[in-house]
């Protein structure tokens, strides 16, 4: 399975050398996430690319690839999605910080309830 994913990744890299396409760049990030190459995701998004980062981040989140989604949402400053992603990763302090930046009652509420469920009462108390 791993070699199959790597061969798919190599084919995408060869296609990308010929033409920059949003689908190719997006799928390349997705492939990196699936083989747990988070460093390559960070490097790739810092280079000029035409990936649809919001869609890729949402897809990674939906497939529970939270570490990769965290990289994407932090890069595009989607604080609400980053906060929820950090909750899934049990990184509650970071989730609280991102929720404050999101400035969204829905996000605050979700993070607060998750903090209470995790018995992170000090962090949950910040919402009062």
Residue spans of beta strands (DSSP E) within 40-98: none
Residue carrying the six token digits 């595009």: 76
What are 68-80's pLDDT values in tens digits?
999 999 999 999 9
What are 79-127's pLDDT values in tens digits?
999 999 999 999 999 999 999 999 999 999 999 999 999 988 888 777 5
The length of the chain, given as a count of residues: 128
Query: CB–CB of 70/89 below 8 Å?
Result: yes
Q: How big is the chain by its Cα radius of gyration, in Å?
A: 17
pTM of the predicted model as reported, rounded to 2 decimal places: 0.86
């Amino acid at each position: 399975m791993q070699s199959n994913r790597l061969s798919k990744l190599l084919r995408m890299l060869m296609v990308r050398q010929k033409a920059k396409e949003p689908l190719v760049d997006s799928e390349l990030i997705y492939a990196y996430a699936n083989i747990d190459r988070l460093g390559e995701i960070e490097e790739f998004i810092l280079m000029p690319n035409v990936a649809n980062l919001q869609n890729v981040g949402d897809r990674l989140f939906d497939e529970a690839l939270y570490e990769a989604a965290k990289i994407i949402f932090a890069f595009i400053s989607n604080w609400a999605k980053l906060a929820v992603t950090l909750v899934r990763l049990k990184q509650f302090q970071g989730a609280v910080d991102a929720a404050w930046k999101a400035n969204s009652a829905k996000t605050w509420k979700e993070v607060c309830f998750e903090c209470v469920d995790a018995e992170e009462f000090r962090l949950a108390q910040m919402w009062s």
